[in-house]
Amino acid sequence: MMDAPLQVARILEHGSTVHGTAEVVTWTGAEPRRMSYAEVGRTAARLAHALRDELGVTGDERVATFMWNNAEHLVAYFAVPSMGAVLHTLNIRLFPDQVTYIANHAQDRVVIVDSTLIPLLAKAIGQMTTLRHVVVVGGGDPAALLAATGDRVAVHRWDDLLAGRPDRYDWPAVDERDAAALCYTSGTTGNPKGVAYSHRSIYLHSLQICMPEGFGLGPTDRELAIVPMFHAMSWGLPYAAFLSGAALIMPDRFLQAAPIAEMIATERPTLAGAVPTIWNDLLAHLDSHDVDTSSLKEAIVGGSACPPALMHAFSERHGIEVVHAWGMTEMSPLGSVSRPPAGATGDDAWRYRYTQGRVPAGVQARIVGPLGEPLPADGTSVGELEVRGPWVTATYVGDDIPDEEKFRDGWLRTGDVGTLSPDGFITLTDRAKDVIKSGGEWISSVELENALMAHPDVVEACVVGVPDERWGERPLATVVLREGAEVGVEQLREFLAGTIARWQLPERWAVIDAVPKTSVGKFDKKVVRSRYADGGLAVRELTAP
């Protein structure tokens, strides 16, 4: 067979020619902007020429983005890797000093920024020591950037920079194992760490996203990509869209439930992907507004455990099937998708859908015990999940040897705890760091959260382990109640007793306004724990019933 390298440029060429009439739609708050995939291809060529000829980007230099999900970000997704440079998606929601740390660690030379994000970037850019160029998309005033950097950094306007450049580029052949893109973990449980995706890993991962057992993307689909392009490469959706010909609908900065609902009603997506908190907000909106969601067949939910109550609500009240998926930045990010196996119907099918899903051929998984000893894939042995495969990272960027805490014998230690069934379904009970260790027994914080969120008056519930003199740790339940709800925490505990063993029921309760979230919209358990430790929560302690 021919040894054709698997490279991002091939995905771009395919999408922009064979699927040239497919479109990327960018929400603007007014009339949406539309760009065909053919035009994305031409614009990517212009950007690559500008980066090389005007800004001098060569080799594997890093070109960062500080952007929302929109057409220009898509152009950068293709132009930068296709020309042989490395795309680095900066997370706009991190603290400025974290953004600076990451940009310096990655040695970013250029950053492309949406003009609406200039004020945010200005807070971080002053200390970005390797940066030489900023490219501003849109019309905002870049004075704040210049003020923070002086003449060390040149500021360019996207339109001016691209104007008059050739709309074809002779994309170079690359080694498929070379880095194409770089993404840092969002640091939910520690400092951000860099993961470098290769051309090959992106290509193979994109194929899997398109598979029926993946997200099943095809040319008749329209994918609403809510999951940010700065978070785990938007789950690979941009590349998968170009492989499959599926259209992309990009929300830009309009991530609240009302505009998302409007996008669904008017742009008619068939699929959408986002973390549970977004779906939870959208559900409340759909429950109280008349929105045409009839186009939406599936909502992919991942990033945190999806509460079964949320799946049922969407299915039964809105005819939208929630598909649960699991993954990590370290895994490109697709790990598993929960589609019931052949023959499963009714409650049986639902039980499969609650799981984190089934691993594809590209992901090998195993469960190990405390000493790293492999445990049986029998659906009941509980341990840490380890994975390996062609789109799983083998180390973090800049590490000479793989970090022992995260890698073992060629496997990635996910830090997730759960079971693996003989037919490849993963069920996660918790992150290892969030499991509540009470008197030598483990309590799953996720199980308590799911059970609480099944109560009609509970909007969100976040459970963390807190120190306890007698048991070592006990669960603290923090809950957000529906507006006007009058349910008391005693009743909530009684409700939990219907499905949860009594010894696991939390004694400590706090009703809060909102669960603190991480930069990618997950429950921030670090913050909840420290608020508790600082006495910042009004905690009620219930005595044992």
Which residues of this chain interact with ligand ADP, rule CB under 6 A? 185-188, 232, 302-306, 324-329, 333, 356, 414-416, 428, 431, 520, 522
Between 84 and 214, whose beta carbon lies closer to ligand ADP?
A: 214
Going by DSSP bridges, is the β-strand pair 364-368/374-375 parallel, antiparallel, or unpaired? antiparallel
Burial class (CB in 10 A: 0-12, 13-18, 19+), 129: exposed
d(CA 185, CA 111): 19
411 is a catalytic site residue:
no
Residue 471 annotated among the catalytic residues of the structure: no
Rounded Cα gap, residues 156 and 55, in angstroms: 10
Distances 12 to 9, 76, 88 between C-alpha atoms, Å:
5, 11, 18
| CB of 498 vs ligand ADP, minimal distance in Å | 23
- Looking from the CA of 208 toward its CB, the CA atoms found within 13 Å total 26
Q: 290 or 404, CB closer to ligand ADP?
A: 404
103 vs 153, beta carbon nearer ligand ADP: 103
Q: Which of 116, 433, 442, 526 is catalytic?
A: 442
Within a 10 A sphere around the Cβ of 415, how many other Cβ atoms?
20
Q: Annotated catalytic residue: which of 437, 490, 494, 499?
A: 437
CA distance 359 to 338: 9
**What DSSP element (H or E) covers 40?**
helix 37-49
Whether a cis peptide bond, with omega within 30° of 0, leads into 212 is: no
Between 13 and 524, CB nearer to ligand ADP: 524
Question: What is the helix (H) or strand (E) element at residue 223, kind and residue range?
Answer: strand 222-225
Minimum CB–partner distance for residue 226 and ligand ADP (Å): 14
Q: How far is the CB of 97 from ligand ADP (least distance, A)?
A: 17
Report in angstroms how near the CB of residue 234 gets to ligand ADP at its nearest: 12
The distance of closest approach from Cβ of residue 472 to ligand ADP in the complex, given in angstroms and rounded to an integer, is 23
Our CB check for ligand ADP shows the closer of 226 and 232 to be: 232
Residues in CB range of 401: below 8 A, 6 or more apart: 395
Residue 31 designated active-site:
no
Q: How far apart are CA 304 and CA 189, in angstroms?
A: 13
- The C-alpha R_g of the chain, in whole angstroms, comes to 23
CA 147, 150, 151, 152 dihedral sign is negative
Least Cα distance to 37 among 242, 223, 209, 219 occurs for 242
Q: Where are the beta strands (DSSP E) in 302-348?
A: 321-327, 334-337
The answer to whether 55 touches 64, Cβ cutoff 8 Å, is: no
Nearer to ligand ADP, 73 or 525 (CB): 525
CB closer to ligand ADP out of 82 and 234: 234
Q: In what order do the strands lie in the sheet with 508-511?
A: 458-468, 472-481, 508-511, 540-541
Residue 70 CB, nearest approach to ligand ADP (Å): 21
Residue (157 or 351) nearer to ligand ADP, CB? 351
Q: How far is the CB of 445 from ligand ADP (least distance, A)?
A: 11
- 406 vs 531 by CB, closer to ligand ADP: 406
Distance CA(325)–CA(314), nearest Å, equals 16
Q: Which residues on neighbouring strands pair with residue 88, listed in sequence order?
A: 64, 182
Shortest gap between Cβ of 253 and ligand ADP (angstroms)? 21
Nearer to ligand ADP, 414 or 478 (CB): 414
Are the C-beta atoms of 287 and 317 separated by less than 8 Å? yes
Would you mind telling me the total number of residues written for the chain in this entry? 545
Q: Give the integer Cα–Cα distance in Å for 70 and 82.
A: 19
| Active-site annotation holder among 43, 65, 100, 185 | 185
Q: Distances from the Cα of 517 to the Cαs of 85, 186, 418, 521, in angstroms?
A: 33, 12, 23, 5
CA–CA dist 417, 461 (Å, integer): 20
Q: What is the smallest separation between the CB atom of 191 and ligand ADP, expressed in angstroms?
A: 10
Any catalytic annotation for residue 522?
A: no
Q: Which regions of 257-317 does DSSP assign to beta strands (E)? A: 271-274, 298-301
Helix (H) or strand (E) holding 100: helix 96-106
Q: Do 87 and 63 form a contact (C-beta atoms < 8 A)?
A: yes
CB of 434 to ligand ADP, least distance (A): 8
Catalytic machinery residues = 185, 330, 437, 442
